Structure 1
Amino acid sequence: MDLPITRQGHSRYLSLRWKSLIALSLALVLVNASLALIANVQLANQFELQQGTVREQQARQLRALVEAGDQEMSKLASLVPLLGANEPPARDLQDQIAQSLDAHGALLDLEWDIRSVHWVLPDGTTSLSWPSDRPMLPDSLLGRLAQDPERTIDALICDSECRQYLATPLLWQGSFAGSLVLGRSLADALLNFHTLTGAEVAISWSDDGDVQPSPLEPQSPAYLQFPAITYPEETLPILRSAAAALAKTNAQGTPISLQHDAGWFEIFRIPSLVPGIDALIVNDISAQREAIRSATIGSVLLGIIGLILSEGLLLAIMKGPLYRLRDLASVLPLLAENRYADLRNRLPSRGKMWTPNDEIDLMTGTVRSLTDRMEDLQRDREQAEARLVWLANHDPLTQLFNRRRFNDEFKGILERAMRFQHQGALLFLDLDQFKDVNDLSGHQIGDTLLQRVADQLRLVSQPSDLIARLGGDEFALVLPEGSEDDARAAAETIQHAIHSILLQEKGRRHHASASIGIVMFPDQGTTIGQLMANADLAMYQAKEKGRGRWYMFCEEDQGKEELDARVQWREEIAQALELGRFELHFQPIIEVATGQLHHMEVLLRMCNAQGETIYPNRFIPVAERTGQIRAIDRWVIDNALATMQQHDNLRLSINLSASAMDDPLLLPDLRRLLLRYQIAPERIAFEVTETAAINSLANATRLMRGMQKLGCRFALDDFGSGYASYAYLRQLPVDDVKIDGAFIRDLARNSEDRIFVKAITDMVHGMGKCVIAEFVESTEILMILKGMGVDYAQGYLIGAPTPLTRAENLRNR
């Protein structure tokens, strides 16, 4: 079945294709808009540069046309008197000029655009004007002639129209006769300018000009009074539209662009064409603006076309990959269902064979590899789960049921026995002297023995029987239905089968045997705990008779109270370890010669639920029998080192149990704790009793040497209380010997004890070891020990075992 693609988080969904399309579109729009803007700015700048060149050229051309008019009139001024050379001789220069104008005046107007000719006498009087209807010369020009009559003067004067004047002084018969003033209209120059440039031009005057407002425009402001203008019907509306802008740029040459009707025009001022006269040039820039607009639109259209093509190409390119991604996403939920084969079959295929691999192919390959790996992990997990389920119910060494499964099965058997009122039997087996097998031949041989015992139990039991290994060398066999005779017969069969087991290793032969305790249910117990306790008691009763025996539980057995006490203490010890009811006490040990504190001995105490202090002699024997002693050893070492970490100058002596001699993990654990707490090994000494060391001589020697390699010291405690001898002392690599307190307590009154202590002290010193005396309870005993040369002493005279805070007070006294 197809699994839908779930979209978690946001409810809105947008395909990656459309996200990419939107992102690309925004990017291309931004790029195209930027390019179009840049192109438009560049075109506008280029147009402005071109127009600047055009404006400069037009200004030069207009000034050149005005100057050309002055130059033509300057040339004509000397020719006008000569035009009447064929006439009768004239009385004076004025008559000659008059004859010339009568004969050829029309030619001046037609050929050279001379509209007026005036003769001004040296006194400033105008004595001749041609044509006769021409107005008089402007007062401003006459004033200048009156000031300097013999100087050539040119002027551009505007009133109703703009005219160019040139006053040229002439000589007659060797003397100054007057000034010939030629006048022409500026309109012809403006028309020539229009013909040459295509631009319109209007003449205006500045504020300091000697001009009067145009009578044609009496209501116009000064900047809109144009005495001369080309094509006023078209030009005047444009100038009026620019009236506000022209007012601001009256004295500047800044160009003005404006739109009028359907066209665009540029107006710029040529200031001081002549003093007091400005010119306004109007250029039609509609074509250039249209070209810029067309180029910009073309750029935008080209960008839009490119955008559309890019989007289409992107959609075409991403269609296949995105479909593959969608297909890949749709099959990934199959991983959660462990449908690995279906997922592999439905993985999207790669692209065309001729195309190189891409990220989707890499992802697909990764998903395929992940699927294979998860399938392997799932298979391993299922196997591990099956193995864990099996291990949860079985003992991995013997393949028998473990204690947990045994309790579950036995509970059902017991309930059925009570319900249907039939009898069954529980046989509790404990191998005899199994510890010797491990100590002498190693744990591998011990494991082999346990496996052989399990095999024999399978052989002699029935399919309906329940067999289990409860831990260590303890086994249990339950006969769901059986009488006491059946139980005895089963015990005999088991004894015979186990006794047949023989193991040989390195010349050693191990015959197996077991002690069996039998209890009947439900007569002798209705709970598993009660039945197991009774069977345990019966098993110990069997051991009391010797190896390879069985014993049927009896309610009147005197050992039951002892067993109950042992079970109770086992629970107390377990709770003390779990709830932290153990605590350390510290007893000071001084250097006899100086009386200074040398180190302290760590002593263990237990607090019960009522807060009472319990001494080790009550719970240590039980802990040794139940196997809890190793956990106690670890607790003592761990907490002692933690205390030393908090007190830098503290030196401690730590007691070890007898089982520590056979603990192969003690040295590695000690090495780890030293590294953890960063304790110098020289600050630590370990003690073990003489009896424990002799009972496991080889292991004790190995442990002592291992601890000395770490840098720790080792002391032999209670020396002289057992069967130690000089030979044993030589074999044990101890650093200190602690004399048993029984020889110290009566030292002041018993001469034999003094002889024994002196002999031990001299012997130990002779071996290069130190002597420690315990149970020093009087000053007299301490002085005797000092006279004997004993190195260290401890006892109630020096200080009783107390918590560390009180021991520190004793230390500081």
Structure 2
Amino acid sequence: MTAQTHFASETVGLALEATGQTMFEYDPSTGDLAWADLSAARSVFGFEENVSAPGMSELLSMLGDEHLVQRERAVETARAEKSAYTIEYALGDEAEGPWVEERGTWLPHGGTDKLIAMVRRIDEQKRREKNLSYLASYDELTGQLNRMRFIEILEETMRGVKTGTRHDALFFAGIDDVGTINNDFGIDVADQVIVEVAQRIDRALGNGGIFGRVAGTKFGILVHEGSPDTVLKTARNIMNAMRESIVLTQAGGIGVSVCIGATYLTKESGSAAQALSCAEAAFDQARRQGASSFQLFREDTDLASQRRKNNEMSDVILRALNDRRIYLAYQPIVTDITSEVTKYECLIRMRDENGSEVPAPSFIPAAERLGLVHLLDRRVLELATKDLAQNPDIALNVNLSWETVRDPVWAEGYLSHLRANARVCDRLTIELTETQMVDAIESSREFVAAIKSFGCKFAIDDFGAGYTSFRNLKALDIDVLKIDGSFVSGVSTSRENQLFVRTLLDLARNFGMKTVAEWVDDENDAQLLKALGVDYLQGYYIGKPAPLPRAEGEEERLAV
């Protein structure tokens, strides 16, 4: 056996040792194993300085049985297929390591093949992988299950509940007055309290349940065999565990308590999210009663009812988006009563699974409350730009929520779609309500500048309902003011509304803005508004929201 081969040099050896790698050449016909640099091999494999160059048998003896089989299979497959291989294995105990990665290939040499392989230490990589694997399931602070893993286990449990093979109970426990601890002693002390509470819950449960940290100071707990006696006993044990002694922290002793909500898991509990919502609703009720309180979920719990409605409406909206049941109705905007209609406002509509229309007030407020309104904004924009591309003789107005404007990610997505459809932007007007815009004028200004750079026009909807200053009107470079309908409806018989409309019209003219009067519901109002100088009219007298009119002979379609 030779200790060194012709392919090695002092420079190569130093480079290999510096990078924690080594290289060897193996000739199976002779059994010779030659190292490119023995010092690098010692560094990688941890050989003692006085150990001579190890052969293949010594190298393989360092592998456990399973890794030995895996390596031999990889090496032989590479030889048969004339390909390279990569294999990771532990030298010694798999849990302790050290770990190495071997990359090799077979090269023809004379009448046989020789194996050339590079080996490097990957201990740090394995430690990172182990840590990431741990964090994927466990909470870094408490060492208990994290929210994601707890929900996964809850989902598995719910499947068993629905098949009648499980009868568990779900608890939601939260530490009382952690905000006060944070304020008085700091975050580090609050973390110590959270860790100690988790340990006490663990001891109180013993082998009778599973729990995880599902929020900052809140824990989800699954208890097997959720009978009424078991539920009450579990809640009592956890609450008593908090009272047994004060929590010793770096700031001194602190008394702790928890509030607990619980729900039985039954076939009617629904999904894991719905079950957790019920337990959380019971917890909220317990917290209303005061510190160290327990509440069992009841169907008439107000908070639970609201959460259930939110969950249901969230599902309705998301399914409607996925099934393309969100569509547009188009309300005409005209320059005069007798003028041709070429401009429309796009009003969002939704059909349920049976094809019936869902009134906008039934899902728009819920979408705003649930953080889904930006999805509706994007869908409306997609439908509108598609209509503009297919109908070159019309112009459209679309409404936009403040939620989309203020979220950088969704705002950029909205702007990206406009950028991709810039060819129709000169016929598109984006509407934002005055009250929303005033809430954060700087964000509004940046967004308006962006949409106008693509050629879009910008309108303030419901103008007169907020408190926009002259400076803000000028700063935003507004094209259109849409007068709030409460000042338009019945304007022909109201001197106060007439005065207000005149004032808004004078303001708009001074800033070079066009005006639209909404809620125009009768002919007298329409004629007076035009006499006052309103540029556009919109309302039920002009036309109700409907599908886009089709050319004669063309089949009417819905924008879905």
Matched residue SS, 2:423: coil
The residue type paired with residue 221 of structure 2 is V
The residue type paired with residue 524 of structure 2 is E
Is 1:520 matched with 2:262? Answer: yes
The residue type paired with residue 467 of structure 1 is G
Distance in structure 2 (CA, Å) of the matches to 1:475 and 1:552:
15
Distance in structure 2 (CA, Å) of the matches to 1:684 and 1:455:
56
Deviation, 1:380, is 12
Distance in structure 2 (CA, Å) of the matches to 1:521 and 1:652:
50
Q: Which has the higher helix share?
A: 1
Matched residue SS, 2:82: helix
Contact 2:211/2:222, CA 8 A, preserved across alignment:
yes
Q: Give the equivalent residue in structure 2 for 1:461.
A: 198
Deviation, 1:575, is 0.8
Distance in structure 2 (CA, Å) of the matches to 1:786 and 1:330:
88
Is 1:332 matched with 2:68? Answer: no
CA spacing shift, 1:540–1:379, aligned 2, 3 Å = same
The residue type paired with residue 466 of structure 1 is F
CA spacing shift, 1:460–1:782, aligned 2, 3 Å = same
Distance in structure 2 (CA, Å) of the matches to 1:649 and 1:399:
63
The residue type paired with residue 763 of structure 1 is L
The residue type paired with residue 774 of structure 1 is E
Distance in structure 1 (CA, Å) of the matches to 2:513 and 2:386:
29
Contact 1:590/1:794, CA 8 A, preserved across alignment:
yes
Counterpart selection for 2:429 from 665, 672, 685: 685
Is 1:795 matched with 2:532? Answer: no
Q: Give the equivalent residue in structure 2 for 1:120.
A: none
Matched residue SS, 1:665: helix
Bigger shift: 329-338 or 560-569? Answer: 329-338
The residue type paired with residue 198 of structure 2 is S
Distance in structure 2 (CA, Å) of the matches to 1:664 and 1:746:
41
Distance in structure 1 (CA, Å) of the matches to 2:190 and 2:425:
44
Deviation, 1:697, is 3.4
Is 1:624 matched with 2:368? Answer: yes
Q: Give the equivalent residue in structure 1 for 2:404.
A: 660
Contact 2:505/2:515, CA 8 A, preserved across alignment:
yes
The residue type paired with residue 572 of structure 1 is V
The residue type paired with residue 82 of structure 2 is L
The residue type paired with residue 417 of structure 2 is L
Counterpart selection for 2:456 from 712, 727, 732: 712
Q: Give the equivalent residue in structure 1 for 2:18.
A: none
Which structure exhibits the higher relative contact order, with contacts defined as CA atoms closer than 8 Å and separated by 6 or more residues? 2
Is 1:478 matched with 2:478? Answer: no
Instruction: Specify every segment of 5 or more residues in structure 1 that has no aligned partner in the other structure, as ranges.
Output: 4-325, 352-359, 434-448, 501-515
CA spacing shift, 1:337–1:674, aligned 2, 3 Å = same
Q: Give the equivalent residue in structure 1 for 2:72.
A: none
Deviation, 1:578, is 1.3
Matched residue SS, 2:334: strand
Deviations 1:341-369 (A, max 9, x none): 88748644589xxxxxxxx9xx99xx96x
Is 1:739 matched with 2:483? Answer: yes
Counterpart selection for 1:533 from 273, 277, 284: 277
Is 1:773 matched with 2:517? Answer: yes
Is 1:763 matched with 2:507? Answer: yes
RMSD: 5.4
Deviation, 1:773, is 0.8
Distance in structure 1 (CA, Å) of the matches to 2:536 and 2:326:
28
Matched residue SS, 2:531: helix
Contact 1:428/1:535, CA 8 A, preserved across alignment:
no
TM-score relative to the length of structure 1: 0.44
Distance in structure 2 (CA, Å) of the matches to 1:578 and 1:398:
39
Q: Give the equivalent residue in structure 1 for 2:359.
A: 615
The residue type paired with residue 427 of structure 1 is A
Contact 1:518/1:550, CA 8 A, preserved across alignment:
yes
CA spacing shift, 1:474–1:707, aligned 2, 3 Å = farther
TM-score relative to the length of structure 2: 0.61
Deviation, 1:616, is 1.9
CA spacing shift, 1:333–1:629, aligned 2, 3 Å = same
Is 1:427 matched with 2:173? Answer: yes
CA spacing shift, 1:677–1:338, aligned 2, 3 Å = same
CA spacing shift, 1:667–1:526, aligned 2, 3 Å = closer
Q: Give the equivalent residue in structure 1 for 2:327.
A: 583
The residue type paired with residue 461 of structure 1 is A
Distance in structure 2 (CA, Å) of the matches to 1:628 and 1:798:
32
Counterpart selection for 1:674 from 418, 427, 448: 418
The residue type paired with residue 425 of structure 1 is F
Contact 1:401/1:468, CA 8 A, preserved across alignment:
yes
Contact 2:274/2:308, CA 8 A, preserved across alignment:
no
CA spacing shift, 1:558–1:765, aligned 2, 3 Å = same
Percentage identity across paired residues of the two chains: 25
Taking the TM superposition and a 5 Å limit, the aligned residue runs for 1:250-649 are: 329-330=79-80, 332=82, 335=85, 344=104, 347-349=107-109, 393=137, 404-410=148-154, 425-427=171-173, 457-458=194-195, 460-462=197-199, 464=202, 466-469=211-214, 476-478=219-221, 483-484=234-235, 518-522=260-264, 528-538=272-282, 552=295, 554-555=297-298, 556-592=300-336, 595-597=339-341, 599-649=343-393
CA spacing shift, 1:588–1:398, aligned 2, 3 Å = farther
CA spacing shift, 1:422–1:693, aligned 2, 3 Å = same
Deviation, 1:566, is 2.3
Contact 1:593/1:791, CA 8 A, preserved across alignment:
no
Aligned pair count reads: 433
Deviations 1:547-568 (A, max 9, x none): x999946524344433332222
Deviation, 1:608, is 0.3
Deviations 1:93-150 (A, max 9, x none): xxxxxxxxxxxxxxxxxxxxxxxxxxxxxxxxxxxxxxxxxxxxxxxxxxxxxxxxxx
Deviation, 1:687, is 1.0
Deviations 1:551-601 (A, max 9, x none): 946524344433332222111111101111111111121124983435221
Deviation, 1:755, is 1.1
Deviation, 1:737, is 1.4
The residue type paired with residue 787 of structure 1 is A
Distance in structure 1 (CA, Å) of the matches to 2:280 and 2:77:
67
CA spacing shift, 1:745–1:806, aligned 2, 3 Å = farther
Distance in structure 1 (CA, Å) of the matches to 2:128 and 2:367:
35
Instruction: Specify every segment of 5 or more residues in structure 2 that has no aligned partner in the other structure, as ranges.
Output: 1-25, 29-75, 90-99, 180-185, 203-209, 224-230, 252-257, 554-560
Distance in structure 2 (CA, Å) of the matches to 1:807 and 1:796:
23
Distance in structure 2 (CA, Å) of the matches to 1:638 and 1:392:
36
Distance in structure 2 (CA, Å) of the matches to 1:785 and 1:396:
65
